Homo-oligomer: A and B are copies of this chain.
Amino acid sequence: MPEMTQVVDSEVISAYATYVVIVVLKMMLMAPLTSYYRMKKKVFANLEDTKLAHPVEEPKFVRVDPDVERVRRCHQNDLENVVPFVLVGLLYSLTGPDAATAITYFRVFAASRLCHTVAYVLPLPQPSRALSWLTGLVVTCCMAYRVLLHNFRL
């Protein structure tokens, strides 16, 4: 029976770890960006948060703003796409893929998500956002396909 050390390519795992951290940090960056827009536009979701922007309690600050909602939708889209990439990517990395192919997948995915965020937040005209989203989706599906075909022998 082959050992874990033979099955797992350390180059693939290293690249996987690096790109996972990059896309997860990018995803987490959406939270401070949301806070920035909330502060800038004085738009809050909770009554207790309004005191951070203004010493006197201001219920009128508790409302919905298109710019804030845009950043939140971008964050949500990250959750819906980055998390599957990380989960499927881990299993994909354990299938012993060709290192060059794997690293290409990771890079294309990371680039597609950076483009998606820029296209969403600015925003750029469509279909820039749709295409960057689709690119990431295709990468995850390619990896998922290989995982389904693979017979794990750890």
Copies of this chain per assembly? 3
A contacts with B, residue count (CB < 8 A)? 59
Which residues from chain B contact A125 at a C-beta distance below 8 Å? 48, 51
Select the residue from A84, A129, A144, A147 with max chain B CB neighbours within 10 A: A84
User: Inside 8 A of A69's CB, which chain B residues have their CB?
Assistant: 45
Residues of B within 8 A of A94 (CB): 17
On chain B, the residues within 8 Å of A126 by CB distance are: 48-49, 51-52
CA distance A28 to B85 in the complex (A): 10
CB-CB under 8 A from A118, the residues of chain B are none
A101 vs chain B, min Cβ distance (A): 18
Q: Is A70 an interface residue (CB 8 A)?
A: yes
By a beta-carbon cutoff of 8 Å, the part of chain A in contact with chain B is 1-5, 8, 10, 13-14, 17-18, 20-21, 24-25, 27-28, 30-31, 45-46, 48-49, 51-52, 69-70, 73, 75, 79-81, 83-84, 86-88, 90-91, 94, 123-127, 129-130, 133, 137, 140-141, 144, 147-148, 150-154
